Structure 1
């Protein structure tokens, strides 16, 4: 069922939201739940849809997503030698425990606890299988209590709020390029094509201390919440996302966002979670709302099957691959210790640089020896060739045969001297000898000397 968003003019005016130019500012102040005032006091509901796609390049889906009546989440796992699909699915299965009606616990505290539980579960996975060392995942979580959402964010998956026709990014990427943007060194457009745009600075890895961004946003009827992995946000402009989010049901919007990401050339997995904020009356009037069940998509849903599916073949299975995926090439010299059949996606450079190679100094030394050897061979070959060359010239007033290259002192030396004085030669022959007469061989040089001697004039001027 396609349901247009409620007319913003007919709704209570929400407080000022964040702007795209300053995504680090949440829609309402960060603080305890008691400090957060919403634009409405009525109980609200979420109508949601989640979808994840392996994409057109990746062999495996390392994204995981979740959508339920109280919780929305997107996790994007690190690839390469460590199984990112395990990290993201582990995180989602821990976070989904938050999907229950709100109780007395502080909303932000529940999000923090959920992220820490996911962090610890990943650590347990690594302890049980050392081959997973280095695995990690992003996490963007929105926990709903009927009037507001508490956001927990770490990594470069993103959260957006579409309100009254305006799209606002409500999370800030924990990435190297975002730090360059914050410093004013590059623009948002330049960040999209920066060679290190996928290098993140924070993630859930079971090792480092979890330091997520935490804040809360009061919701209003007609709002639309959108969470996605960087497979979507990395290729879609804000205007394009806003256009898709401006109409249709959450299911329509989520599927179209995935399709648009693939059409825009995304080479990554793509995961999108879209949720509409409804009043209780709107939810009751929506026939599809009563059929909603929690949705698990991506690696968390497909981990056992591990087989990519085709275009929109069962939306709720969470895979919408438009083209058959192709194997990514494994960079030369990169080894994989994972025992998996089929092999996992070799997404080596996803979020962190490769570990330093072993014996780097030895490889450099061998390379230097090889280069020096090639240079020596080249010089030796050039010297050998020069010593096969001959010419006739002058040495201490006498005609002589030289071996080497005329005019290059280091590659030229007297090979034979004669008793033919330069002064005994006619003027023309003398000039030729002084300049140097090239010869094809020693025999040719000797014939040249004999020819010159035949034209020589004795010192006394007699024939």
Structure 2
């Protein structure tokens, strides 16, 4: 069965905010929704850049769906890091991302943050994502109920988002979707104000277009003070009924190609134009009070990012220094070790350890002895060839002394055949010819032809 998506999307700035920090994209293959945060214009930059980056995968998948989604989200996060490095004034921005990608047979889901994905099947609503929020972690630990979470003062604090500063761990899964299912992607401007039972009812009724409009209207009527963005899509079997080709939709901040005012198309930063502060953005009803923009408080506090390349260089330098120090300490330790081994078929004391590392010598002969290996019994010869560990130089000398004692024992008449098996008697050392004694005749002198010694009387 080949499936496709019939979709509708709608984004509303809401009744309180002056700018839309939500962004989205929808096509027959790819659905995306990002909810930016960070205050001022930074939130819309984050969501727009994220959607503009990820939507480039809207083509027939050539690899595994989950790998494609994970790679696209990582590239978006890297792009945010590049922007922050160029323009430190947007440091602190971030965005959620929830998306679906279809290859015609399966649909995969990627999710970071607290935007949500739902599925309706036969009139029953099911949440497909898990919020990456502080209160959700308390719910998971059993320290908070869902009703308590709805009124918790930190209910919007995220513990995971695309922010260009941390390693991403997106939730990835292949969805159990079939023709006839309807899916919804929405920002927290919906879920913070509409209960699941009402979302279920609004999502089930009518077409995808009417469902999108009804959910946005209901959220605003319930007093939503945030941007409200939804993507509604039906899973349709190709061939079951004609599916008209639709142009992809890009909406919210991404449709305006939001970016820092000081970053031109060339990517070169000049100077930043003045921006309105939270104190200046009072709508007359006190909703944007001097306490600051709630979007600025949405993240769990993190240290600001500055001089990113310098930080990386310092970290790399520290790591290299620590590794070098560790290797130096390890080498010094090896040079305090001793063992008795074989060197050119003779017994020797070695300093170091009998290990080989390319380009590094860990052992050397400390003391050599004129003790042939073949003069040792077989079992001792094998021990020496394998190396006999010593606790120090003096201990190594005692081991050599014991080996010499064994050789001497085996050199005596009638040695123990078992203890001395394999030992060859040491070769005798060459000696000078003995001096003749006074009573012994000296060397015979040569005689002349008459048989008399040379020098005799005539």
- Tell me the TM-score range normalised by the shorter chain: 0.5 to 0.7
CA distance in 1, matches of 2:108, 2:25: 16
Indicate yes or no: 2:33 matched with 1:74. Answer: yes
**Residues 62 and 79 in structure 1, CA contact (< 8 A), matched pair in contact too:** no
The equivalent of 1:137 in structure 2 is 95
Identify the match of residue 251 of structure 2 among 297, 309, 316: 297
Deviation (angstroms), 1:70: 0.8
- SS of 1:202's equivalent in the other structure is coil
Aligned residue pairs: how many? 282
CA distance in 1, matches of 2:191, 2:17: 17
**Residues 192 and 235 in structure 1, CA contact (< 8 A), matched pair in contact too:** no
Identify the match of residue 349 of structure 1 among 283, 290, 297: 297
Which aligned pairs between 1:178-217 and structure 2 lie closer than 5 A? 178-217=136-175
Indicate yes or no: 2:132 matched with 1:174. Answer: yes
Which aligned pairs between 1:230-379 and structure 2 lie closer than 5 A? 230-284=188-242, 289-290=244-245, 292-303=246-257, 326=283, 328-331=287-290, 347-353=295-301
**Residues 4 and 238 in structure 2, CA contact (< 8 A), matched pair in contact too:** yes
In structure 2, the CA distance between the partners of 1:61 and 1:352, relative to structure 1 (3 Å rule), is farther
CA distance in 2, matches of 1:346, 1:171: 24
Which aligned pairs between 1:43-58 and structure 2 lie closer than 5 A? 43-58=2-17
The equivalent of 2:453 in structure 1 is none
- SS of 2:236's equivalent in the other structure is strand
**Residues 49 and 254 in structure 1, CA contact (< 8 A), matched pair in contact too:** yes
Deviation (angstroms), 1:116: 0.5
State the Cα deviation string for residues 361-417 of structure 1 (Å, max 9, x = none). xxxxxxxxxxxxxxxxxxxxxxxxxxxxxxxxxxxxxxxxxxxxxxxxxxxxxxxxx
CA distance in 1, matches of 2:259, 2:168: 31
CA distance in 2, matches of 1:207, 1:97: 22
State the Cα deviation string for residues 295-351 of structure 1 (Å, max 9, x = none). 111111134699xxxxxxxxxxxxxxxxxx93753535x6xxxxxxxxxx7732233
Gap runs ≥5 in structure 1: 1-41, 307-324, 335-344, 357-463
Gap runs ≥5 in structure 2: 261-281, 305-458
The equivalent of 1:94 in structure 2 is 53
CA distance in 1, matches of 2:257, 2:220: 22
Q: Larger relative CO (CA 8 A, sep 6+): 1 or 2? A: 1
Q: What TM-score, normalized by structure 2, do the two folds share?
A: 0.58
**Residues 96 and 115 in structure 2, CA contact (< 8 A), matched pair in contact too:** yes
Aligned alpha-carbon RMSD (Å): 2.3
Q: What TM-score, normalized by structure 1, do the two folds share?
A: 0.58
Deviation (angstroms), 1:283: 4.3
The equivalent of 1:149 in structure 2 is 107
CA distance in 2, matches of 1:187, 1:261: 23
CA distance in 2, matches of 1:198, 1:163: 29
- SS of 1:273's equivalent in the other structure is strand
Which aligned pairs between 1:93-112 and structure 2 lie closer than 5 A? 93-103=52-62, 105-112=63-70
- SS of 2:297's equivalent in the other structure is coil
- SS of 2:147's equivalent in the other structure is helix
Indicate yes or no: 2:175 matched with 1:227. Answer: no
